[in-house]
Amino acid sequence: TKQGAIVGGQTSCKAPELAAFEKHLPSDVEIVSCHSLHGPKVNPKGQPLVLIKHRASDEALNFVDEILSSFESQHVYLTGEMHDRITADTQAVTHAAFLSMGSAWQANRQFPWEISRWVGGIENVKINITLRIYSNKWHVYAGLAILNPSAKAQIRQYADSVTDLYKLMIGGQREELKRRVKAAGASVFKDGTEAQDLLLSDEVLDRFSLSNHTREKSPPNSHLSLLAIVDCWSQLGIVPYDHMICSTPLFRLWLGVTEYLFRNPDLLEEALDTAIDDNTFRSDDLEFTFAARAWSDCVSFGDFESYRDRFERIAQYFAPQFPEAAKLGDEMMKTILEKTEQKP
């Protein structure tokens, strides 16, 4: 580097990046890192762009700030540690949920859009975002999960939440299941968060379907993946609305459908009763539980090769549907961005 240079990186996990900079860069080099919290296909205008003044003067930060202003993003100023914690809160567990869905469908040799029980707005989100993730490169998600110090515990908690809730389902423990899920919902969607309502209903998302089946033929779903994400947030003391300024479009979409389920008492009650009384999704939920634990193990062991093998094997299974899913996924992202921008 040149004397007096300013160096930064765009990685999704700052702990190893900043440690490497400190180790290898001369002491006169200033470090101002950044991270655009959205994918390459999303317009950066109005999206969060984190700036991290790690080892730098105010003048250096202002210089970087001005250069990056051309993106027209919303600049957010954090420490590296805060950045990693927030990305773990908003991205790592979200990715784990969708990766687990793909694993479960592949294990059951299913293409969910061909099956009538996966029809409707919430199901469209599950399918399209799962395919969107698997159409990308494996290392994007592996690095964020394995290298982020905060992510491992959160992904493990998600696997534990999935497992605990599934055990209550197959054990027929209706009252305990309802008590735990509703307590988690009250903790996450507490008083004062109503104004954050993202208004992502089934009706809004119905048009983003890969399926030829109609909604009328779709049975109620236990929505284990959604119940578990709220239980996970509750167990970890995470209030997702606290991080909206640093949230990705994918996270806002996932939060939106989760919020829709939990703010609709009849729909939530239907999901909980379905989990106990209806075996339609039981085998799917079993494979989802296995998958959540397996992905958590990959992350806990820091096993990049196992992560890559699992990811690419499942991606190959779904690959023929990627082009259409990408198109619908882009439209869904546009919808959630529009909904978010409408908020005061």
**What's the confidence (pLDDT) of residue 145?**
93
Does the residue 265 lie in any domain?
Answer: yes
In order of 40, 47, 331, the CA distances from 44 in angstroms are: 9, 5, 16
Tell which of 28, 48, 78 closes a domain. 78
Assess whether pLDDT exceeds 70 at residue 73: yes
Does the residue 103 lie in any domain?
Answer: yes
Does the residue 224 lie in any domain?
Answer: yes
**What's the confidence (pLDDT) of residue 337?**
61
CB within 8 Å of 342: residues ≥ 6 apart: none
Shared domain for 221 and 334, answered yes or no, is yes
Does the residue 1 lie in any domain?
Answer: no
How does residue 211 score in pLDDT terms, banded at 50, 70 and 90?
very low
Can you give the CATH number for the domain in which 57 is found?
Answer: 3.40.50.720
Tell which of 54, 78, 102 closes a domain. 78
Shared domain for 163 and 202, answered yes or no, is yes
pLDDT, tens only, 128-184: 889 889 998 999 899 989 998 889 999 999 999 999 999 999 999 999 999 999 999
Shared domain for 142 and 157, answered yes or no, is yes
Q: Residue 100's closest CA among 254, 290, 232, 270? A: 290
Shared domain for 232 and 275, answered yes or no, is yes
Contact status, residue 30 vs residue 40, Cβ threshold 8 Å: no
Shared domain for 71 and 104, answered yes or no, is no
Query: What 3-state DSSP class applies to 49?
Result: strand
Contact status, residue 292 vs residue 277, Cβ threshold 8 Å: no
pLDDT, tens only, 221-258: 999 999 999 999 999 999 888 887 777 878 888 888 89
Shared domain for 145 and 260, answered yes or no, is yes
Shared domain for 146 and 209, answered yes or no, is yes
Tell which of 34, 50, 78 closes a domain. 78
**What's the confidence (pLDDT) of residue 194?**
53
Beta partners for residue 34, in sequence order: 51
Residue 258 belongs to domain spanning: 84-341
Q: Residue 256's closest CA among 201, 212, 203, 208? A: 201
Q: Is the dihedral of CA 244, 236, 276, 174 positive or negative?
A: negative
Q: Are strands 6-7 and 48-55 parallel, antiparallel or unpaired?
A: unpaired
Task: Say how many domains are in the chain.
Answer: 2
